[in-house]
Amino acid sequence: MLNKLFATQKRDTDAKSAKLSLDPDNIPHHVAIIMDGNGRWAKRRDLPRSAGHKAGADTLKKIVAAAGEIGVKVLTVYAFSTENWKRPDEEVSYIMNLMYTYLEKNFLDLKKNNVCLHFIGDRSRLSDKLQRVFKKAEEDMAGNTGLVLNVAVNYGGRMEITQAVQNIAREAAAGKIAVEDITEDLVGSYLYTAPENDVDLLIRPGADTRISNYLLWQAAYAEFWFTPLCWPDFTKETLIEAITSFQARERRFGGLK
C-alpha cells in the first residue's frame, strides 16, 4: 500500500525531476515539514538516537537555506510535539539543548539571510532559558523580510485550536466579540501561524503517512508528500522533488476544474 503511494508520487515527479527544474510561478507559498525518522536513521547506523536528532538539526539548516533559494515564503517545521514529552527524559533534554545550541550556532546566519523566525506552540512548559532565547531571537529577527521560519515546539494542532477557542470565548464573554463575528477568518487570526495560516504543501519523511496532530486547521487544503527517506537524509533535491510533485497536481479546493 505504502509502496504504491510512493510509486505514484514518483511517477508524478519522474518527468520533471530528471532536470530538477521548477516552475517559478507555482512555488508553494507555505511548506510544512514533519521532521521524522531521526531515531531510525541513527539506529540503522548503530548510533544513539541523539545522533539522529543532531543530524536532523544539520538537515534543518540546509533545508532552511534551500527553501529560501527556491522561493518558498513560509516554512513551518515540527520540532517537538505536545506528545513528545512521553519520551525518556534524557531524549527530551537532548532535543531541548539541541534547539538552544542550534540557535546559538545559526543565529547570525539566519539574521544575515533575512529569515524571520517564530516559535509556535505553548512555551510555558519550556525552561526559562529556552523561553528567553526564543524571545530574543524572535525580537532580533522581527524586522526581517525574507523566509518566515516557524519552528513548532511543544506544539499540537488540537491544543492550538482549543487555545484559540478559549481566547475567543474570553473576548465574547467580555462583550468584545459578538457570536456572529466568529468567522473562519476570525478563528484563523487566533492561531499561532496567523496571518500565514494556509499550508500549500505538507512533507513527511520517515515512511509514516499520518498527520500526527500537526497544523490541523492550516492543512485543510494542503497537498501531502511522503518519502521513506529519514529526515537526516533529506536534501535540497528531495525538497525539489516534493515541489515538482506539488506542481504536477491540480488543486481544486473543493470546486471543479
Q: Which residues are catalytic?
A: 36, 84
Q: Would you say the C-alpha torsion 107, 66, 199, 222 has a positive or negative sign? A: negative
Q: Residue 235 corresponds to which cell in the numbers above?
A: 536534501
Among 6, 40, 161, 172, the residue binding ligand FPP under the rule CB under 6 A is: 40
Among 9, 13, 17, 38, the residue binding ligand FPP under the rule CB under 6 A is: 38
DSSP 8-state symbol, 102: H
* Shortest distance (Å) from residue 210 CB to ligand FPP: 12
Q: Which is nearer to ligand FPP, 16 or 53 (CB)?
A: 53
Among 64, 74, 95, 191, the residue binding ligand FPP under the rule CB under 6 A is: 95
Q: Would you say the C-alpha torsion 210, 216, 218, 219 has a positive or negative sign? A: positive
How far is CA 185 from each of CA 56, 181, 215, rounded to the nearest angstrom? 35, 10, 16
Which residue bears the cell 522581527?
142
Task: Please choose, out of 54-62, 108-116, 124-132, 248-256, the segment that lies near ligand FPP by the rule CB under 6 A.
Answer: 54-62
Among 27, 32, 57, 219, the residue binding ligand FPP under the rule CB under 6 A is: 57
Tell me how far apart the alpha carbons of residues 213 and 215 are, in angstroms, rounded to a whole number: 7
**Interacting positions 162-221 with ligand FPP (CB under 6 A):** 206
Tell me how far apart the alpha carbons of residues 81 and 90 are, in angstroms, rounded to a whole number: 16
DSSP 8-state symbol, 256: -
- Collapsing DSSP states into helix, strand and coil, what is residue 155? strand
Count of residues engaged in binding ligand FPP, rule: CB under 6 A: 19
Task: Please choose, out of 9-17, 35-43, 134-142, 183-191, the segment that lies near ligand FPP by the rule CB under 6 A.
Answer: 35-43
Among 9, 12, 33, 39, the residue binding ligand FPP under the rule CB under 6 A is: 39
Residues that bind ligand FPP (CB under 6 A): 35-40, 53, 56-57, 60, 79-80, 84, 95, 98-99, 102, 151, 206
